Amino acid sequence: MSLAYIGLGSNLSDPQAQIITAIEKLKQLDGGNVIKISSLYFSRPMGPQDQPDYMNAVVALETNKSAIELLEQLQHIETITGRIRKDDRWGARILDLDIILFDQEVINTTRLTIPHYGLKQREFVLLPLAEITSDLFLPDGDSIDELASNIARNGLKIHSKLS
């Protein structure tokens, strides 16, 4: 089994319900087992500010799938929840599921980059990740706890705990 950390985000169509539904779908994945779930966080949008704030969380997931197979499963969940992929990378969305980390693998293909390319700059990923695994180190040796301690919060707020 591999250990993956999945970032979840939504700012449309009742974001809290979207995140909770996505977590339920992750619990039902073939070959997967959700082992930890962060609190829900509110964050400001990246890119255009004329969109609603986001709700974010991070889930730790054991899986017997490869990283690319897991990506396909996540994209299927996004599709069935109504996400439409557009060229607008920073626009509002019903659901966004990203593989943040996959064991200690480093993957850099046109389809998948692990660790996630924005991990170290995004408080809405680092702080929920540190909440569920503060003792984790990235493949480059950086400490999640240290990165999270030093990142600006940019208005990030805990909304509620999930279990």
Rg (CA), the chain: 15
135 vs 162: CA distance, rounded Å:
21
Active-site annotation holder among 44, 53, 96, 145: 96
**Active site includes 88?**
no
Beta strands in 73-131 (DSSP E): 96-102, 107-108, 113-114
9 vs 81: CA distance, rounded Å:
13
135 vs 27: CA distance, rounded Å:
24
**Active site includes 83?**
yes
In the block, tokens 């706890």 appear at 145
Active-site annotation holder among 14, 53, 87, 93: 93
Active-site annotation holder among 44, 50, 53, 83: 83
Give the pairing of strands 40-43 and 157-160. Answer: antiparallel
Quick check: 153 and 122 in contact, CB under 8 A? no
User: What is the set of active-site residues?
Assistant: 83, 93, 96, 98
